[in-house]
Structure formats: C-alpha cells, structure tokens
Amino acid sequence: MIDRFKKMFLFLSIAYIVLGLIMIFNPQNFIEILCYVFGGIIIVYGLFNVIAYLSGRNSYDGPKNSELIRGVVSLFIGLFLVIRPAFIVNIFAVVLGIAVLIDGIYDLQLAVDIKENGYDKWFIHLITAIITIILALIIIFTSSGIELMTVFIGISLLFDGLTNIFAIISIKRLLR
C-alpha cells in the first residue's frame, strides 16, 4: 500500500512539474486552449443530447425530457467556456490554489512528523511547506492578468512538484 501511495504521489508530482513547465512557457494560450477544447467537447455533448431528444431516440434508460435539459445546459456551459475563458481562468486559479494549499499544509505536517522522528534536515521541509502555502495563498487571492496568473500557477506547480519529490526522497532515506 505504501509503495502504491509513493508511486501515485510521485506521478502526481511529475504531473505538477510538467503542467507547471507548460504553463510557464506558454501562459497566454494554455488556459484559453483548455477552455476551447473543453467547451467544444461539452458543446458536442449538448448537441448530441438535443438531437437525440428531437429525433425521438432515447440514448439511455432515463426520462426522455432529461436529454433536452442536459443538452441545453451543456450547450450553455460549452458556449460560456468558449466565449468567456477569462472567467474560467479565475475559477481555475482558485481551485488550483486550494489544491496547492492543501498540499502545502500536508508538507507542513510532514515537516513536523519527520522532525519528531529525528530527521536532521526537517527545517528544509518546513521552509518549502511555508513557501508552498504562501504561493498557494497568492494564487488564490491575486487578481492580476491572465498571463501572469498562469505563469505564477506554473511556477507554484513546478515548485510543489519538486518539493514533493524531495519529500519522497527524504522519507525513503529516513525509513532506511
């Protein structure tokens, strides 16, 4: 179970690093493209449901009218994503900031735990946890431009991914 957790934690850390690098080096287009892709997928899903309703074919075993409702709601959501990507960026930043904050709090707890177990470099984890928490709070509460926000989120994800890998290595050494 611990090996599975380590692998999953390592995978998540690498994903943070890759996503962070993409956001740092292509901030202007990253979230806009993401909005267009997801918006397009949701629009197609909505059209599929509306067409299924209008053609009289029920695509699943639920009430027929729900296809029309799902279709229209999906069309509105998809169009909103395509038309208003800046709004989505703000929501994305807050959600991602909360995820990084939770991870920073976890890192803070980890620093306390490894200090109690006698690890002599626990303070490095404490410092990285505090930096992660500060970066997360800045992500959540900053309302600057989309490009700057995307770069900053990318830096935060990169930092968080690297500190997670450092934590994995430290724990592995501690358990030897």
* pLDDT one digit per residue (tens) for the chain, 176 residues: 567 777 888 888 999 999 899 888 887 778 788 889 899 999 999 999 888 888 876 655 556 667 888 889 999 999 998 998 878 777 777 887 888 899 999 999 999 999 998 888 889 989 999 998 988 888 788 755 466 677 888 899 999 999 988 888 887 787 77
**pLDDT for residue 146:** 60
**pLDDT for residue 101:** 92
What is the total residue count of the chain?
176
Say which residues have a Cβ less than 8 Å from residue 157's Cβ, sequence separation at least 6.
Answer: 16, 17, 19, 20, 23, 96, 100
Q: Which sequence spans correspond to the domains of the chain? A: 2-175
The one-letter amino acid code at 148 reads L
**pLDDT for residue 47:** 94
167: helix, strand or coil: helix
**pLDDT for residue 56:** 77
What is the pTM assigned to this prediction? 0.54
**pLDDT for residue 135:** 82
Count of other CB atoms within 10 angstroms of residue 18: 13
pLDDT in tens, 46-93: 999 888 888 876 655 556 667 888 889 999 999 998 998 878 777 777
Alpha helices in the chain (DSSP H): 2-25, 27-55, 65-83, 85-116, 122-141, 146-175
